Amino acid sequence: MNTTAVQKQRSGVHISMRVISEEGKALIKMFEGCRTEAYLCSAGVPTIAWGRTKDVTMGDTCTQEQADDWLDEELEEYEGYVNEAVTVDLTQNQFDALVSWTYNLGPNNLKASTMLKVLNNEKFDEVPAQIKRWNKASGKVLEGLVRRREAEALMFEGKDWYDV
């Protein structure tokens, strides 16, 4: 996927729309994992492929190629959510971390989050702590989410996240 910004027009003004980098995609793949048979995720939601939940029912299957194509399609959607909600300039690492976070937690959580308010107020040093707060599924802290949020926070800061 191309990591250069894409030009879009909004209200007669050209704006740059970022796209996720291969490194950001690697973080998502590392934590989502790919399964070609539907399963219930830790929140009890039917899931398949690289964390896809849209229109998934238990018993569904897919090929690896379908899984990869679905991820690319969904990442375009989630890039859009981040591009739309964030009003400040971001580095590629910051953008990638936010797309990963939003892919896992959804656009409604992004829009309602204190993290977004802190970010849009340019309090960049406070964002990693806000990212890490989102480590629960069904009210329980999950080690996998603790690790993912740590990796996203490190990526946001431009630090090495691979050994989390």
Catalytic residues: 32, 41
Cα-based distances in Å from 22 to 25, 30, 141, 150, 154: 5, 12, 28, 19, 16
Q: How big is the chain, counted in residues?
A: 164
Q: What angle do CA 100, 131, 125 make, to 5 degrees?
A: 115
Neighbours of 122 (CB within 10 A): 12
Hey, which residues does 47 pair with through a beta bridge?
Answer: 39
Identify which of 116, 16, 119, 32 has the alpha carbon closest to the alpha carbon of residue 74. Answer: 32
Query: Using CA atoms, how far apart are residues 25 and 137, in angstroms rounded to an integer?
Result: 22
